[in-house]
Amino acid sequence: MMTATLATGSLLLSLGCGNAPSATTTSPVPEPPVASSVGSASAGTTPASGPSPTKPKGHTIKPHKVRWLKATPSRDGRKLKIIWWSGVEPCNVLDHVKVRETAKTVTVTLYEGQARRSPDVACIEIAIQKTTTVKLKAPLGNRKVIDGARH
């Protein structure tokens, strides 16, 4: 009887001290992906709630190029949905998007800066996905989409 009790107690103790995560366990924040590609929106790289839609606001402080993650063409090929990793506003605001089209390529360059109305605000350091849609002058067709921040 004592052996059975001791064995049961040992089993419960080992289960309680196992590798199961506790309520205070935190998982590391994943690094934002750096590969750019043209693909479908169901590629599994976006959170369940999806990227946060945003439009260029212009007039930011120190606008700079930002790399994007994915460009997904619309069914008719006249628009591109661009997805990228960013930070929270007002520290990371989409200033403008530059689109350069040639017969063989479409180069999309995103520019972000800090909102002028909040030059001294402190923002939390958290990565979020954002999305914006750009219109093309001509349908995408077989043209290659290029991230202008990488060149």
pLDDT in tens, 122-142: 889 999 999 999 999 999 999
* Rounded distance between C-alpha atoms, residue 69 and residue 82, angstroms: 8
* Domain boundaries defined on the chain: 32-41+48-150
* CA dist 125 → 103, 112, 118, 128, 136 (Å): 40, 16, 16, 10, 33
> What pLDDT, on the 0 to 100 scale, is given for residue 48?
55
* Rounded distance between C-alpha atoms, residue 113 and residue 27, angstroms: 30
Residues of the chain below pLDDT 50? 1-47
> What pLDDT, on the 0 to 100 scale, is given for residue 88?
94
* Rounded distance between C-alpha atoms, residue 54 and residue 22, angstroms: 37
> What pLDDT, on the 0 to 100 scale, is given for residue 76?
97
Instruction: Label residue 68 exposed, middle or buried (CB < 10 Å: 0-12, 13-18, 19+).
Output: buried
43 phi and psi angles, rounded to 5 deg: -75, -5
| Other C-beta atoms lying within 10 Å of the C-beta of residue 86 | 22
What's the predicted TM-score (pTM) here?
Answer: 0.67
> What pLDDT, on the 0 to 100 scale, is given for residue 41?
39
Pair 46, 38: CB distance under 8 Å = no
* CA dist 139 → 33, 101, 115, 131 (Å): 27, 10, 33, 20
